[in-house]
Amino acid sequence: MGGVFIKPVSKLRGEIKVPGDKSISHRAALFGGMAYGETHVSNFLLGQDCLSTLQCLKQLGVSWERKGTEVWLRGEGMETWQEPINVLDAGNSGTTMRLMLGALAGSPFTVTMSGDESLRSRPMRRVTDPLKQMGAQIMGRGDGNFAPLTMMGGQLQGQSFRTAVPSAQIKSAIILAGLRARGETSVEEPALSRDHTERMLRGFGVDVQSDRTLVRVHGGSRLNGQAVSVPGDISSAAFFLVLGSLVGQGEIVLPDVGVNPTRTGILDVLKAMGADIELLDSSEICGEPRATLRVRPAKLKGIEISGDMIPRLIDEIPILAVAASLAEGETLIRDAAELRVKETDRIKTVVEGLNALGAKVEERPDGMHIQGQTSLYGGQASSFGDHRLAMAWAISGMLSEQGVSVEDMAAADVSYPEFLTVIKKVAG
């Protein structure tokens, strides 16, 4: 197995401005395309997933231009969206596909959405079933469970839903369909998932009512173009929080990182493990809290990660597993079966990858059991095209004894195109 070889390091120091939040960038582009008037998005993430959302909007007739990380969208309302000539290609982006399906559910035309091989294998029924209940006609492989998916627009009727799992993508798709439905649409979750959609829709002028795990919207709501400042992505910052906690010496500062309470599970868990992380310069811009994070080396200990904490750090579990493998004592991750339907089966791939690098990890149906130790030997690991795994194995290499060769490191481009450049810089 070839790949990019990541050397071990013993000392780090520097300031890292992580790229814009992926979830917020997707929504800023989509809502700007749905709105009336101009939307200006700053610090937009230039990862492949968010660019897929912009390209889908262009195929629907939405006019936009981009200069660096700034995007201007000139929306004229969803009534002016056009039937696309070709299939909408969501690439590797589940967020693009699921949110776009919700936004398009009430359109008066037919549209087909697909993506790469990985996305075509990811289940969509949890989104397509509620949209069908509201009146959308959706056809696809596995009775509408797998892309390519073809949707024929129609009149939507508001409904009340209770989801089986907390998922911001499911909730957001239903809410977006509800904006074009007759009457009220509500979604109740078993635990609160990311609330970026609710926060941002309010900024665009939509009356979104929420009470803990219940969200309500009314049909006929109009979005008005806004200026949206995207904070740094805490999921990208997570890799440096773990690296800064476990490296021998140094200090890493991460300015302007989003610290939305539905996303800060990574901070809570690392602090419970004993990490030395400080929040500085806290503020709130465009409805999203943000802060500067400073992390210094600390001795970590194993804990249990389960229950309502899981939705608040689902994307950070691969790098948390790396941290747990180098912590003192045992770590048990439970209630995370959702990981099996991500870009890869992240339970299986994380367990196999860490064991190949010298860790002691046991796979469980809904998570994993990790026996912490003082070191990772190193070796070879594949990302299997999963951006979170690519970056987790790179951090493992920096914290290992012998280094790690990462197969398909380019997968990191999905959410962090400059990742390799940044780790070389802070490592000197």
State the Cα angle at 110 between 107 and 116, rounded to 5°: 110
Q: How far, in Å, CA of 344 to CA of 353, rounded?
A: 12
Interatomic CA distance for residues 198 and 332, integer angstroms:
32
Report cis status (omega within 30 of 0) of the bond before 311.
Answer: no
Secondary structure (H, E, C), 205-237: CCCCEEECCEEEEECCCCCECCEEECCECHHHH
The question of whether 308 is a catalytic residue gets the answer: no
- Token representation of residue 334: 């439970």
- Helix orientation angle between 125-134 and 168-178, rounded to the nearest 10 degrees: 20
Whose CA is closest to 135, among 178, 189, 184? 178
Q: Are 138 and 150 in contact (CB under 8 A)?
A: yes
Residue type at 75 in one-letter notation: G
Contact (Cβ atoms closer than 8 angstroms) between residue 280 and residue 354: no
Nearest Cα neighbor of 40 from 170, 204, 244 is 204
Catalytic residue (choose from 315, 335, 366, 413): 315
Strands 184-188 and 214-218, by their bridges, are antiparallel
Residues in a beta bridge with 209: 216
CA proximity to 350, closest of 399, 386, 378: 386
Q: Which residues are catalytic?
A: 315
